[in-house]
Structure 1
Amino acid sequence: MPLMVPKSFSLTLNEEQLKALFKEHDTDGDGRLSKEELLNAFRKLGSRNPSWRVRRSMSHADGNRDGSIGLDELDELVKYAVKQGYGVN
């Protein structure tokens, strides 16, 4: 069952929960998170400026610079999200 979060509510999740939330937002099932899918994930996490957060997360986690986050880059995305206060260690 998808995790439902009100827009004005900010969640604190552990790393595994963050990873699951990001994977849940791979809506086309291609094993990659597009900018649009990341935007929806950061909205769900309660980001005040999700578009900016997507740009910053891409610069941190998109190691091959292909414009999406692959499964091999997901751990870097989670580390970035935790560093920004979206999770706990």
Structure 2
Amino acid sequence: MAICGLVGGAKTKTGTDGKTQISVAEFKKWLMDFDHDGDGRISRSELSDAIKSRGARFTWWRSGRAMGVADFGFSDYIDEAEMNYLLRVGKEFGYDIL
């Protein structure tokens, strides 16, 4: 049975595996909510905050792993173009990205 909730104002479902099911667009919108300085990019610290918000442990390690997957420009930030690469590590966020 799925449980309904909200992520960034969008209706979501939680499957029996405990992961919230959201679309790619909803995931990106949710992630940008953690862009604390408003520069349009996600830093490792902001990424750690996003992971922590989902109740995960070891957020510094998980955010480092996610940065390694997504930060192809080695800028220490994930910009909009690189966000698609975060979909590969969506489980770090507790999401099942559809």
- Counterpart of 1:12 in structure 2 is 20
Higher relative contact order (CA 8 A, sep 6+): 1
- Name whichever structure is richer in helix by fraction: 1
The alignment yields a C-alpha RMSD, in angstroms, of 2.3
Q: Which runs of 5+ in 2 are unaligned?
A: 1-6, 9-17
Identity of aligned residues (%): 30
For residues 38 and 93 of structure 2, what CA distance do their matches in structure 1 show? 26
For residues 20 and 13 of structure 1, what CA distance do their matches in structure 2 show? 14
TM-score (norm 1): 0.76
Aligned residues: 82
**Residues 79-88 or 31-40, more deviating:** 79-88
1:37 to 31, 37, 46: 46
Q: Where do 4+ consecutive residues of structure 1 move more than 4 Å?
A: 82-85
Q: Which runs of 5+ in 1 are unaligned?
A: 4-9
8 Å CA contact retained: 2:70, 2:86: yes
Cα displacement string for residues 54-80 of structure 1 (whole angstroms, at most 9, x for unaligned residues) = 010001000111111011111111332
- Counterpart of 2:32 in structure 1 is 23
Higher Rg: 2
- Name whichever structure is richer in strand by fraction: 2
